[in-house]
Structure 1
Amino acid sequence: MKTTAEITSPYDLSFIKELPLISKNDIDKVLNTAHNLFTDQSNWIPAYKKIEILEKTASIMTDRIEDLLVTAISEGGKPWQDSKAEVLRAIKGVKLAAEHISQIKGEQIPMGLTDASLNRIAFTSKEPIGVVAAVSAFNHPLNLAVHQIVTAIAAGCPVIFKPATATPLSGFALADILKEAGLPTGWLQVILCDNETAELLVTDPRINFLSFIGSAKVGWYLKSKLSPGTRCALEHGGAAPVIVESDADFDEMIPSLVKGGFYHAGQVCVSVQRVYVNQEICDAFIEKFAAATKLLITGDPLDKKTDVGPLITPKEVDRVEEWVNEAIKKGATLITGGKRISATFFQPTVLFNPSEDSLVSTKEIFGPVVCIYPFIDRDEAIKRANALDVHFQAAVFTKNIDIALDTVKKLNATAVMVNDHTAFRVDWMPFGGRDSSGIGMGGISYAINEMTREKLMVIKSKFL
């Protein structure tokens, strides 16, 4: 049985660090620490103190942007320009959490509406839900940690954070900063462990809330095993569709869709994947999209000029290569790319009209591949876009407001971008999938609310 995790660079597979894995025997101590903190309300951190801690955390992070940036790039392989944006988003997320603490509040419930409810006043308040287990993904190692850790702290919950084994260093760096900022011992425990141990953790009855970011297979399995009463938020992937109408603005659209498709080598849960283009402009779209794709610079993620970095592991490159080859064998036209560059690099790839049963048409690619499909009837294209069981973010490009509104209404998605790519996100907006793509809602304030629960107080007095 493995007792350590070896962290390597996705860029060149060079060794970075070795970290210990905790065993099943260690889980009880971790859970007890968090559970005991929560059950004794004298330990709870006052709101003003939580604000102070998070404000100081944001300040320290700002002072250490370069260190956080290099750490995220080294372990995750996301190019410099995109990792810089992630670090800045993470800092903004901490600030948003601090600001939202003042908005954690209840409301008055009307009384006296019936004879039986006379002489009473009632109101709700919000309490922390309890111990949070947060299981994270590799693709945004710092920002995801903020969305799962800082939101729990803002809500008043002790949190046990399990980062992806491939990219744990950013989570540990955030934990060190929170400790420096004054977070009391035990309120955040960062652990690395194997899948069996992680399951033991999240299914324990001492866990009140599971925050999970990762594959649908694992997420829905864990949900089925949760202890009775444990609530959860699951964020899975999608296969984001885009509808492109004949009046779309090419100058705006092409750079946007290329960015949305190949950002972080397509390793984004809302990455542009399936683009349905009106037949009238399909040839021109393919020509311009392919030309822009060929200009992307693939290489060292620490180089500021790099557009597309590596995939997280060689195994992922193997999978993407297999899926692309399968699509071509089933009749897809390879427009550009399609080849492995190295152990962890795959060319930015554009496929035209893969069959509906190809893996690239039915599963989340999570790699640098975009598929283009022609359509004549928009309603038929929307039907094809909605055909899968994953529904997260989608997009439509048109200058006709009626077409935009009609498409937004008909697309099955939690968010539809109009004249923007599917991967657009800011950290104060709601973010999450529906159907197989997840349950619950992310976004800083939304996640904080998920980690609280209401308590009603009713006061009876003859003087009311």
Structure 2
Amino acid sequence: MKKDLWIGGEYRSAASYNELKNPYNLELLAKIGSASQEDVRLAISAAHQAKTMMVEMPAFERAEILEKVARFLRDDLDECARLIAMEAAKPLKAARAEVNRTIMTYTFAAHEARRIHGETVPMDAAPGGQGSLAFTVREPLGVIAAITPFNFPMNLVAHKVGPAIAAGNSVVLKPASQTPLSAYRIAEYFHTAGLPAGALNIVTGSGSKIGEVLKKDDRIKMITFTGSPEVGRYIREHSGLKRVTLELGSNSAVVVDEGVQLNKVIPRIVNGAFAYQGQVCISIQRIFVHESIIDEFTEQFVSETRKLKAGNPLEEDTDISAMITRGDVERTKQWVDEAINNGADLRLGGSAEEGIFQPTVLVNVPLNEKVSCEEVFAPVVHINSFRDFSEAIDLVNDSKYGLQAGIFTNDIHKALQAAKKLEVGGVMINEIPTFRVDQMPYGGVKMSGMGREGIKYAVEEMTELKLISFKTE
């Protein structure tokens, strides 16, 4: 199969093509067009030309297009899940859950398209304002560049394309090189749903080559990026006055206080640690357990983790499959071995076979080890103890990241203490930090990024507030 670039509502051939392989068995899936800088400029031109049609399109029409895309996804759910499983090695049941979430994301986008509004401003609240009537409206920014990662190839695209279309913008999308097929499928759905040609363009290939054009072109009014902190920082520092939203890395932590029912929380934490091989921005990486229950917790956690089945992502009962690249497997192995050599205790896993890194549990990890202080983005967790709840909060905050954190406790005072003092974008009380529903505000602090996703909040990021004032007297 050969996939060209999607520009101006049609497929256009590229000068060169790259092979796309299944991460699990390395089977050739397709040859994907590699965009030149001129191709990227053509995509921007198409989006720039389409922005007038998008601005003039009534909100209900934008909403109906988004609703049609959600319906197409629902009709093709199993086919889309298999597509994700093949190109991302995401276990089929997790891929199916992602498609269901994508349907909800576009549905929420359709709802938000119908309720974008401003407010009246009480001008007479200040001296000199009497005799004036004022109100605000929200207007689309214009052309938005969206750069998405491999780990949620449909839903994270939806979190950028959905609110952009809802707000009346046009889009140039650069999906991850490993997962372009999901993005191209979405482009076909939008085209069939009646989105104007050029309102959504997809360019695949070199991230650095494409990104350079997106950052420098003044027709791009906003860049929304999900990926590594290093790339995010570079985008932020070199994008001039463009608006920028960044969803970057994390080493999410969960705190388990004394007195909680371990049989209830441990299966949830295991899922939050190892879902999709730990390749989730808010995957649990650090577990801090009260010293009075750490032995019991660790024993039960290891026992529950042993139940996970590793294998082919296309099999219904697979829980863990191949990591996205063999290079990531090697890096993970190096980090785990370094931690063990420096005093960590390996309780489970630590090895890899045919691209699958076994679910790995470490105990008593020095907190300056990479598996603790960096984003491992792999099926690896460590369990460390704490004595005092304030100490646990300090341990969570001792990180350059701050996306989400989870707290399990029966003490409302400790829960409120955590809610106030944790330096993260989202505090999940009696829930894992991996928890996300698609209408909630989502984003981090520190090196975890800036700005917020979640459809309503993304629409605010993707629109400009305009004040209109009338002199009535």
Whole-angstrom CA distance in 2 between matches of 1:293 and 1:318? 22
Matches within 5 A, 1:32-431: 32-38=45-51, 40=52, 44-194=56-206, 195-228=208-241, 230-342=242-354, 344-431=355-442
1:6 aligned partner: 19
Whole-angstrom CA distance in 2 between matches of 1:303 and 1:404? 40
Tell me by how many angstroms 1:27 deviates.
2.3
Whole-angstrom CA distance in 1 between matches of 2:253 and 2:273? 11
TM-score scaled to structure 1, two decimals? 0.96
| Aligned: 1:26 with 2:39 | yes
Contact 1:205 1:227 in 2 (8 A): no
Percent of counterpart pairs with the same letter?
A: 39
Tell me by how many angstroms 1:42 deviates.
8.1
Whole-angstrom CA distance in 1 between matches of 2:41 and 2:272? 42
User: Where in structure 1 are there 5+ consecutive unaligned residues?
Assistant: none
SS in 2 for 1:121: strand
SS in 2 for 1:90: helix
Tell me by how many angstroms 1:193 deviates.
2.5
SS in 2 for 1:134: strand
Contact 1:37 1:44 in 2 (8 A): no
Contact 1:204 1:226 in 2 (8 A): no
TM-score scaled to structure 2, two decimals? 0.95
SS in 2 for 1:242: strand
Contact 1:204 1:227 in 2 (8 A): no
What's the CA shift string for 1:306-341, capped at 9, x where partnerless?
111211000000010000000000000000100112
SS in 1 for 2:224: strand
SS in 2 for 1:117: coil
Whole-angstrom CA distance in 2 between matches of 1:115 and 1:388? 48
2:5 aligned partner: none
Contact 2:322 2:356 in 1 (8 A): yes
Tell me by how many angstroms 1:212 deviates.
0.1
Contact 1:203 1:222 in 2 (8 A): no
Contact 1:111 1:120 in 2 (8 A): yes
Shift in CA distance, 36/246, structure 1 to aligned 2, threshold 3 Å: same
Tell me by how many angstroms 1:2 deviates.
9.1
1:448 aligned partner: 459
Tell me by how many angstroms 1:200 deviates.
1.6
What's the CA shift string for 1:164-188, capped at 9, x where partnerless?
0000110110110010010010000
Deviates more, 1:281-290 or 1:106-115: 106-115
Whole-angstrom CA distance in 2 between matches of 1:143 and 1:115? 49
CA RMSD for the aligned pairs? Answer: 1.4
Shift in CA distance, 296/42, structure 1 to aligned 2, threshold 3 Å: closer
What's the CA shift string for 1:178-211, capped at 9, x where partnerless?
1001001000001103112322223321110111
Q: After the TM superposition, which parts of structure 1 deviate over 6 Å for at least 4 consecutive aligned residues?
A: none
Q: Which amino acid aligns with 1:262?
A: F
Whole-angstrom CA distance in 1 between matches of 2:133 and 2:210? 47
